[in-house]
Structure 1
């Protein structure tokens, strides 16, 4: 094999909640094309060793904020363009498939595997494909079959996201330049489906479960090892945990995969939320009684980074109804956030310092509460955000409500300070989020997770899954032990037979 193999880069990534009424269109993916694709990855910058080790060719890579199902039209447009770009490249030795693994498309099951099937029609079976994924993705037997190398994040929150992508690219280059035979793949589905907030690697048992991944990877004959928790807020047969170990030795990958699968299954009853939980009112009571500041509360049910619509008004209604926050001299509260394009327009037109009455929210998800009317003082306005487009802060009593043109996650301190807000000096910060992202986690003197309604409700049985494979823990808590024997998955140039189980 040439020391400079030709490698294509392609992929679409999103978490899609089937329990949200929202839909995701093509522009939400902010697709990059051609050479611009490579600018997504610092390790592929000109002059970097990995960049110089291969001839990298971008096709199309798009990543969207988690949201509702992708429309059939958006999927068709993006995949057709990706495939057309790939076909124009001519023969490629390898392809790096940069995906999330939880994309649900109208009328399509296992969308990532289906796209990869079509990619294989262009590249042929001999092209080596390496996939990088989120650990909250789903690995069906079909997806494992279509790939040669596959890996995922090992941390939740995902502080190792770029490290994982680099590992997938590096493993691919190493395989193409070493002359090694096609990797052996051991796949084990694990009938467990838990929310990310119950499987954070910050705490046990996930901390130890994932620590074993590196130990398996270090085994002779193993190239990579991975555990997927799966995506809890979609209802497809593929939604469950999974283990895949790849390498040169069938015995090594089989032994490693079974060790990881048994460890995950054994720990299933020990998984718990990464923070104390309660109803929103219980969390507010605890925050007001505490002297720790700032006190963070996660409004979990409408978390836009898990697939929530982001415009559920239920949580903010509960906050504004509290008498403690009616007066401007009350405890300082920051609430992030609520989409309301018309409300933002009104605030922008009135200007900072003006008092306005606006209505926002529940344009997409009105199942739990209707649009919310607010009267307050415009505190700040900001234009040009990648996700929100325009943001406006309205002070209602002692609550600073962040309103956005489009939904936006608030994960970093500058997300607040850019809006003339001081989260470190606030009494309470309420964020539509699950587990706190690293900057917020470091900032919080204390925090709780409020179990609120929405498209990514943490009470999974309450959502009403109908299509997942049963029995499944925790839906069937007393289910018998499953078969955790490793399945050796054939290469993509070999026939895949038998049920996906």
Structure 2
């Protein structure tokens, strides 16, 4: 191997709900290619210790906003380009390593394990001796086959994901360290201990802000520090897909078989012993109950999560149910009522009308339910155009409509609202509002710090928190909380061989 190993970067990421009629197309992944991939990650820039440690070659990465099932043609188009670009790299120089940059919960039409399928195709290009390091979201799903095809695999340790960059950097650093041990061969490949768990919980019940997830994830670095261990990871899985691989899992990677097996067993045992203790990260209620509580409270601003249509968990974003219920309330039907900010609802035609009319105009517009009309149809509103903003990378165009005392944010395309500037850029003052209602689950850090109080509204949509009523039919049963009585699971570690060995047997 040359003094600087050649490491390619590729992957596709889309957290995918099977319970929304939305579909994800290729442009939603906003593909980055060649040097754009390196530009995306400052820890790989020239002049940094990690950037200078290898010859990093970007193939293609695509990160889509969470949404509906990925159309097969879109996957095939992007996968083919990844293979083509990897082939171009391989034709010019041997590829020593591959950083597989994924989320882990992508559902593709006609595929049962999309990330494994993609990596299998990539393996045919980079070769069996290429070392692969995967980084994932802790809400990803880790099949036995995916673990087998990788040499290193890790995931976030925080929810909300404040350690996303740290995790990706760790995946790259572990890969560089492994390559420095010598030529990529069976002799230097670490062992992987994998334990699947019959648990499938929403992220809003597994936040690391509170117990028991807080304590569980505090164990991860302790296991990682064990002699003979390289990395330890715990996945809670993704609850709104519907595939056999959707479940919690533990993977510990290292050189000592006893150490990795013991570490994996410790984490799995802690997870299982607490499976019935997981609860929502904040107080919950129906949408009406949350609004009633907010109006009765003196805390300002009072945040409410319209959780069932959370676009950052896979919701379509255009469910009108929450905004319809809000505007029906008499408290908000006059301009002098309690100030409410509602974020948000896609309505491209409505936004065009508001842009044409201009700020200050009174308009009647119809928005929402173009994709997901399962729970409510399009909503028609008459109000004053409060603000218009062009150029957002997700929404493209945003427009605020004041209806009574409600300031509803309408968008050309769906957008998550996670930062104070998302509101202030629209001449809205969330800190001065009575209520801020956001399509989100647990509050992202900036909103969490801003909220004087907060409730999670259990609303309908593609990422409904009431998992049992969604109708899963392909997940492995029994599994908690869909089943409440079943035999204790097998928590013995499955020690998986190097990825260029043969793997046989079921994904158990």
Deviation at 1:492, TM superposition (A): 1.6
Instruction: Give a deviation string over 1:369-425, Cα, whole Å, max 9, x none.
Output: 000000000000000000000000000000000000000000000000000000000
User: 2:189, 2:362 → 1: CA distance?
Assistant: 66
Indicate the residue corresponding to 1:80 in structure 2: 80
User: 1:300, 1:480 → 2: CA distance?
Assistant: 32
Indicate the residue corresponding to 1:142 in structure 2: 145
SS at match of 2:359: coil
SS at match of 1:379: strand
Q: 1:94 is matched with which residue: 69, 93, 97?
A: 97
Are residue 191 (structure 1) and residue 195 (structure 2) matched?
Answer: no
User: 1:476, 1:369 → 2: CA distance?
Assistant: 30
Deviation at 1:480, TM superposition (A): 1.7
Are residue 470 (structure 1) and residue 477 (structure 2) matched?
Answer: yes
Question: What TM-score, normalized by structure 1, do the two folds share?
Answer: 0.99
Q: Contact (CA 8 Å) 1:128, 1:148: kept in 2 or not?
A: yes
Are residue 243 (structure 1) and residue 228 (structure 2) matched?
Answer: no
Deviation at 1:197, TM superposition (A): 0.2
Are residue 41 (structure 1) and residue 41 (structure 2) matched?
Answer: yes
Instruction: Give a deviation string over 1:101-141, Cα, whole Å, max 9, x none.
Output: 00000111110000000111111110000000000000000
Q: 2:499 is matched with which residue: 489, 492, 499?
A: 492
Are residue 50 (structure 1) and residue 50 (structure 2) matched?
Answer: yes
User: 2:303, 2:451 → 1: CA distance?
Assistant: 6
**Higher deviation after alignment, 132-141 or 2-11:** 2-11
Q: Contact (CA 8 Å) 2:195, 2:250: kept in 1 or not?
A: yes
Q: How does 1:154-173 map to 2 (within 5 A)?
A: 154-173=157-176
Instruction: Give a deviation string over 1:142-195, Cα, whole Å, max 9, x none.
Output: 000000000000000000000000000000000001237101100000110000
Q: Contact (CA 8 Å) 1:16, 1:69: kept in 2 or not?
A: yes
Q: How does 1:429-440 map to 2 (within 5 A)?
A: 429-440=436-447
Instruction: Give a deviation string over 1:226-262, Cα, whole Å, max 9, x none.
Output: 0000000000000000000001111110000000001
**Higher deviation after alignment, 171-180 or 29-38:** 171-180
Q: 2:361 is matched with which residue: 339, 343, 354?
A: 354
Q: How does 1:56-455 map to 2 (within 5 A)?
A: 56-90=56-90, 91-179=94-182, 181-455=188-462
Indicate the residue corresponding to 2:4 in structure 1: 4
Instruction: Give a deviation string over 1:448-474, Cα, whole Å, max 9, x none.
Output: 000000000000001010000000011
Deviation at 1:360, TM superposition (A): 0.1
Segments of structure 1 that go 5 or more residues without pairing to the other structure are: none
User: 2:5, 2:421 → 1: CA distance?
Assistant: 41
- Say how many residue pairs are matched: 501
User: 1:494, 1:78 → 2: CA distance?
Assistant: 28
SS at match of 2:129: coil
SS at match of 1:347: helix
Q: List structure 1 runs of 4+ shifted beyond 3 angstroms.
A: none
User: 1:66, 1:400 → 2: CA distance?
Assistant: 25
Instruction: Give a deviation string over 1:200-222, Cα, whole Å, max 9, x none.
Output: 00000000000000100000000
**Higher deviation after alignment, 65-74 or 38-47:** 38-47
Root-mean-square deviation over aligned CA pairs: 0.6
SS at match of 2:107: coil
Deviation at 1:491, TM superposition (A): 1.4
Instruction: Give a deviation string over 1:293-333, Cα, whole Å, max 9, x none.
Output: 00000000000000000000000011001100000000000
User: 2:41, 2:198 → 1: CA distance?
Assistant: 34
Instruction: Give a deviation string over 1:324-353, Cα, whole Å, max 9, x none.
Output: 000000000000000000000000000000
User: 2:266, 2:198 → 1: CA distance?
Assistant: 16
Q: Contact (CA 8 Å) 1:473, 1:479: kept in 2 or not?
A: no
Q: Contact (CA 8 Å) 2:181, 2:188: kept in 1 or not?
A: no
Q: Contact (CA 8 Å) 2:191, 2:495: kept in 1 or not?
A: yes
